[in-house]
Structure formats: C-alpha cells, structure tokens
Amino acid sequence: MGRDVASSGRPTPPRRIDVFNGDADGICALHQLRLAAPADAELVTGVKRDIALLERVAARLAERDCAGAELLVLDISLDSNAAPLRRLLAAGANVDYFDHHAAAQAFAHPGLRLFWDDCPDCCTSILVDRYLDGRYRPWAVAAAFGDNLAAPARALAARAGLDGAASAALEQLGQVLNYNAYGDCVADLHICPEQLYRAVSAYADPLAFIADSPCHALLLDGYQADCARLHGLRPHWQRPGGAVYVLPPAPWARRVSGVLANQLAAGGGAASFAILSCHADGHYVVSVRSGAPAERSAHGLCEQFPGGGGRRAAAGINHLPAAEVERFIEQFRRYFALPEQHHGH
C-alpha cells in the first residue's frame, strides 16, 4: 500500500512511535538511538512494570493508520507483547525491537527487525551500543549500571576511556534513573518517564545532564532520602543462600524496591533474593534476583505465577495476591534449592 500523498504532492511522513520501558535501560537505549537518528516520534512508556505497552499502541492505532507506521520498541519483553506485535505487523507496521528479556515467542516477519540477547551480562542499552558501534557509549554505561550490570558497565567505561570519577558519576546516574521507574503508578514516581526522557534528550553528554539538569538533582535527593529508610530492614524469611523481604504499603517503599533488590544481589554472592512490595489494594509486586542465573533463571520462577516474567538474573511478578505469599515463599525455597525450615518474622 502506498503512502497517502499530501495536497503538496509530497508523501505523508510515516507515523513514528517510540515505545520504551520507563527505567534507565529503556530511557538510555532510546536516547542513544535518537541521538544517532533524530525523529519526531510519539512516546509510549510507563512505570517499570508497565510492560504490555504494545497493547496500548495497538489500541491507539486504527488499522488504517498502521500501514507504514514506524515503531521503535525498547526493553519490554516480547513474550508479554507477542499478540499485539503480530497484529501491528499484520496491519502493515514496521518494527525495530531491541530487548534482553524472555522471548520464547519470537517469530520472523518481514516487517520486524529483532535485536535480542538474554545473556545475563547484556541489557537493551548494550544491544543498542553494539548496533551503533559505541557512538554514545557513556549512556550505555549508565544504563548498564542502572540494570545492576556493574562488571559489563565498567568494561564499557574502560573501552570508552572514562576515568574513575566519570565512571562513578555514571554509576550513580544509572541508579537514580532506574530508581525513578519503580512504583505502582506514575503518581508514585518523582518524574513521569516521558518527562524524564525529554529532560535526558536535551543532553548529548550524560555528565552534562548530571551537572546541569534540575531533574537529576531532584532524583538524587529522592533516592538518598528513600535509601535512608532501608537502614535496619530485616528479612521476612531467610535461609542460607536466599532471603525474602516484605516492604510496607507506602510510595517510598515501592520506589526503593528495585534499589534494595540490586543492593542485595550485588552483595549476596551466589544468594538469591525476593522483594515483595505491598500495594494499596493489598496485593504484592515481586522482584526476584537469582544468585545463579545460568542454572536457575529468575524468570523461570516468576513465570510459574500469573503476570510473571523477566530475564535470567532479574525478574518479577506484577500481581501476587496476599493469600499467595506463603506459596510463593515455598516455591522460592524449592526453586533455588534452599534448606527447609519453618519460617518466621
């Protein structure tokens, strides 16, 4: 089908939509690609757990509007978006898809270019960095740190010639960008992800964003205040090799849940952890970090529950009823082969 022709006789430009996870990895991946190829695109994003984004795109685009539409999809699981992806492609959309989450339902289509790698040392921004031959590597460094991939991030920083101070600054940037994505809804966040991306997109250099952006100062203040609340937190359940933490039903706890999960994973050796964040309606959102992702992937556990998925090292469950908490803890224990013992607070 040819493009519509405007009254001037020129073809109407294709409709462009950028679809991205609202965390550090999604934001930095999109920023790298748009630095390389600027485009005026609609934005579709949300909190970190809002990953069924292509359903929103499919609802927004009437079928006649899909033909020739250009979609850029970043850092959301293909398995969670396979059905609307098929519908959009069938209606004539073209899709570039970069991701590192579970993609068992991946398929070939002439309108789809899929860039995918679920290696535990890879994130979406690293995939984009490979695609762009490292043109905007400092942003990939920040994203990798934000995704708790410290060793790959440091390796990228070294390849970019960044000194220790710059690497440390990018580590903190990745952490605060990622921290901002955690919440039950956008109202839990300090800055909505679309607004944060637009703030980031004004800076080619992440160190300039750190130095000059009011958004960065706001996030850093919030991050430090919320992290201070974690001091003295104890596990709800613990065994050699693993622990489960339960956070209270408060916005600060929902914001800091990912920070806690990454801190535990970074300091836990081969231990595995789960963070349960209680939401206002009584259900829990679960974050899981696997201490041995090659042998026991985090998403392998989470996919045993409705709404569960993710990647090898880190995964989650979007809606765990309170009545299922004890069953989850037992499944966590069995899955990670932890010792059996009656648990207590």
> What CATH number does the domain containing 283 carry?
3.10.310.30
Domain count, the chain: 2
Backbone angles phi, psi at 161, to 5 degrees: 75, 25
230: in domain: no
Site of tokens 């984009």: 128
Same structural domain, 219 and 285: no
- For residue 2, being part of any structural domain is answered with no
Using CA atoms, how far apart are residues 49 and 22, in angstroms rounded to an integer?
9
Give the torsion through C-alpha atoms of 324, 326, 330, 332, to 10 deg.
70
d(CA 73, CA 89): 13
The pLDDT of residue 62 is: 72
- Same domain assignment for residues 279 and 188: no
Q: What is the dihedral of CA 71, 73, 79, 82, to 10 degrees?
A: 0
Q: Is residue 113 part of a domain?
A: yes
Q: What is the CA radius of gyration of the chain?
A: 20
Tokens linked to 344: 């207590």
Query: Are 74 and 19 in contact, with CB atoms under 8 Å apart?
Result: yes
Which positions of the chain have pLDDT values less than 50? 1-7, 343-345
Query: Do 204 and 244 share a structural domain?
Result: no
**Do 113 and 89 share a structural domain?**
yes
CATH label of the domain that carries residue 66: 3.90.1640
Residues 204 and 263 grouped into a single domain: no
- The answer to whether 259 touches 229, Cβ cutoff 8 Å, is no
177 and 312, same domain (yes or no): no
In a domain, 232, yes or no: no
Q: What is the DSSP string of 111-137?
A: TEEEEE---TT--HHHHHHHHTTTTTH
Q: Note the pLDDT of residue 345.
A: 44
Shared domain for 285 and 146, answered yes or no, is no
Domain assignment present for residue 51? The answer is: yes
Domain boundary among 223, 245, 275: 223
Cα dihedral 295/301/303/307 (nearest 10): -140
Distance from C-alpha of 190 to C-alpha of 265, rounded to nearest angstrom: 25
pLDDT digits (tens, 9 = 90+) for 91-121: 999 999 999 998 999 999 999 999 999 998 9
Q: Based on the domain organization, do 55 and 116 belong to the same domain?
A: yes
- Of 174, 189, 223, which closes a domain? 223
Residue 280 within a domain: yes
Cβ contact 89:57 at 8 Å: no
Are 164 and 29 in the same domain?
yes
Whole-model pTM: value is 0.87
| Domain boundary pick from 188, 223, 258 | 223
7 occurs within a structural domain: no
| Whether residue 190 is found in the same domain as residue 252 | no
| Any domain includes 146 | yes
The range of the structural domain enclosing residue 84 comes to: 16-223
Kindly state whether residues 213 and 97 are assigned to the same domain: yes
Whole-number Å distance between alpha carbons of 335 and 108: 33
Same domain, 42 and 102: yes
Residue in 35, 198, 244 with CA at minimum distance from that of residue 125: 35
**Is the distance from CB of 222 to CB of 255 less than 8 angstroms?**
yes
Rounded-to-integer distance, Cα 203 and Cα 205, Å = 5
The confidence score (pLDDT) of residue 190 equals: 97
Q: What count of Cα atoms within 13 Å lies in the side-chain half-sphere of residue 206?
A: 28
Written as six digits, the tokens of 166 are 């710059």
Angle at 51 between CA 251 and CA 272, to 5 degrees: 70
